[in-house]
Amino acid sequence: MTNDTQHSNDSSEDGVVADDRVRIFDTTLRDGEQAPGFGMDRRAKLRMAHALEALGVDVMEAGFPQASPDDFAAVAEIARSVRHSTVCALARCQTADIDTAGRALEAAQHSRIHVFLSTSPLHREHKLGMSKQQVIDTAIAAVERAKALCHEVEFSAEDAMRTEPDYLAEVFSAAIAAGATTVNAPDTVGYVTPAEIAERFAYLRKHVKGAERVVFSSHCHDDLGMAVANSLAAVSAGARQIECTINGIGERAGNASLEEVVMALRVRGPYFGVDSRIDARRLVQTSRLLTQLTGQAVPRNKAIVGDNAFAHESGIHQHGMLKHRDTYEIMRPQDVGMGETKLVLGKHSGRHALRSRLQSLGHSPEEAAMDEIFARFKTLADKKREIHDEDLEALALGQDPDAAGPWRIVQLNSTSHLGGSASASVRLAHDDGREVGEAAIGDGPVDAVLRAIERATGTGLELTQFQVRAVSEGGDAQGQAQLTARHAARDWRGNGVSTDIVEATALAALSIVNRIERQAAPTAAAQPQVQGATA
């Protein structure tokens, strides 16, 4: 196969490389997946590949076929099923690697072999044992062999940023003459600064022969925390491909974060003058799929996709956000698929944000009542990390949030069965003296306990969102279950914390039921009692 059918994403009809768009080369499935703790099996890699295709990545590096039979099979399966992104396979500049990559990509609609070879003095001497000319000869042979097996070839000079600039330009010139369509100058060990990498790319674009015919690519690691900044600096100096990963996963401290470079290019569009074709509304969805597949959570303060990326607790910030969202947000959470901005109520929150949240819950206290509620809120906030809606409901109704009922759990049991089903039984007590027991079968223990609580309380809940996260560390770590359920055409949120996730879920569901019943209680209490009536 020759590169006559090169993917149109890379060149315009007259053969000149387009300059108004940055190609996103995602290596989550290769560089990201090989990092400790982020391994994925073949089925998980296929799911992730489909998500990356839907996200709109130009190139996805599906794996390193020579590494293992399973990696070969995963790349081949992805190559067969992906149609709108170029599927890429990594290969050392060795005949066996290149031939194996070619076989794995045979069914791809758009294929790329990514060959790499070290070029720095350190690597030439201690890793390869090669002279400068031997490196060039090896690179030429590898590109020529790969060219016959795929639609396009990318050549990477490993440790490029610690390579002599004039020699790096010579290597790239040779690779382009041999047929490379993309040349990658990686910061393999995350060593350089933005100013240095911009200077290097400007030098290469000026001194590499055939530079006008290829795409220059940046692949930055985050060892000094500058991977995204370095990638963007490379773009400013003419790079038109960024190699990155979802959530920034990768070797050691990771790679440039895809979601961060994409949104930086978009939010600062007038500054960079280029954009990508990524569907940014899928960023959060794709990030969360990766955490599900790898079991590795994203830090709360992670830019773009972290839980706190669009959350505000400071009273000053919340007041500004309620006045005009642009005061403290440079993009909308909907732009990245996050949903709504969250004004998190805690000890730093102010009266304005508290009143706004109470009003959204259906409470409009007078000033005197608001003074008392705010004082009790501050006392509670000093004891709890976050204040949830059920706490606010209790404060508004003059109740103790820590003892808010009317339902409470007396007993809870759950059992999982072979085949995936589970059963749960609950015994609940009500403030009016009742005790109710119910049991149910569900698809899993969480589903079963929710069904049992619905039966026991007589309150139907349509679960719309369910999240679990750790709120402490260690083997006895507590987990927080956060539920959103629809009842009577309204969404209700509940939270529960326990070392047992099933119990945390039950507590969260019961908090929703209690809020529904408490909200109805004032209306019922307002009705005149009939004399002689008994409980």
Q: What is the pLDDT of residues 323-333, one digit of tens each?
A: 655 676 778 88
Q: What is the 3-state secondary structure (H, E, C) of 441-510?
A: EECCHHHHHHHHHHHHHCCCCEEEEEEEEECCCCCCCCEEEEEEEEECCEEEEEEEEECCHHHHHHHHHH
pLDDT at 182: 98
Backbone angles phi, psi at 150, to 5 degrees: -155, 175
Sign of CA pseudo-dihedral 138, 144, 148, 154: positive
Other beta carbons within 10 angstroms of residue 207's beta carbon come to 15
pLDDT band at 527 (very low <50, low <70, confident <90, very high): very low
pLDDT at 530: 34
Q: For residues 377 and 193, which has the higher predicted lDDT (pLDDT)?
A: 193
Q: For residues 514 and 196, which has the higher predicted lDDT (pLDDT)?
A: 196
Residues 185-198: b if buried by 16+ CB within 10 A, e if exposed: bbbbbbbbebeebb
* Interatomic CA distance for residues 168 and 178, integer angstroms: 15
Other beta carbons within 10 angstroms of residue 60's beta carbon come to 25
Residue 190, pLDDT > 60, answer: yes
* Interatomic CA distance for residues 117 and 98, integer angstroms: 13
Provide the 3-class DSSP secondary structure of residue 370: helix
When the pLDDT of each residue in the chain is averaged and rounded to a whole number, the result is: 86
Residue 512 Ramachandran class (φ > 0 left, ψ -120 to 50 alpha, else beta): alpha
The percent of residues above 70 in pLDDT, for the chain, comes to 84
Q: Give the burial class of 113: count Cβ atoms within 10 A of its Cβ; 0-12 exposed, 13-18 middle, 19 or more buried.
A: buried
Helix locations, 313-388, DSSP H:
315-323, 351-360, 367-381
Other beta carbons within 10 angstroms of residue 105's beta carbon come to 27
Q: What is the pLDDT of residues 123-161, one digit of tens each?
A: 999 999 999 999 999 999 999 999 999 999 999 999 999
pLDDT at 535: 27
Q: For residues 161 and 3, which has the higher predicted lDDT (pLDDT)?
A: 161
pLDDT at 529: 39
Lowest mean pLDDT, pick from 202-206, 459-463, 499-503, 529-533: 529-533
Q: What is the pLDDT of residues 203-233, one digit of tens each?
A: 999 999 999 999 999 999 999 999 999 999 9
Residue 393, pLDDT > 60, answer: yes
pLDDT at 339: 67
pLDDT band at 475 (very low <50, low <70, confident <90, very high): low
pLDDT band at 377 (very low <50, low <70, confident <90, very high): confident
Q: What is the pLDDT of residues 241-293, one digit of tens each?
A: 999 999 999 999 999 999 999 999 999 999 999 999 999 999 999 999 999 89
pLDDT at 214: 97
Q: For residues 534 and 100, which has the higher predicted lDDT (pLDDT)?
A: 100
Q: What is the pLDDT of residues 29-87, one digit of tens each?
A: 999 998 888 999 999 999 999 999 999 999 999 999 999 999 999 999 999 999 999 99
Amino acid at 363: H
The percent of residues above 90 in pLDDT, for the chain, comes to 59
Provide the 3-class DSSP secondary structure of residue 179: coil
Q: What is the pLDDT of residues 481-508, one digit of tens each?
A: 888 888 888 888 887 877 788 888 998 8
CA–CA–CA angle 104, 39, 100 (5° rounding): 15
Report pTM.
0.70
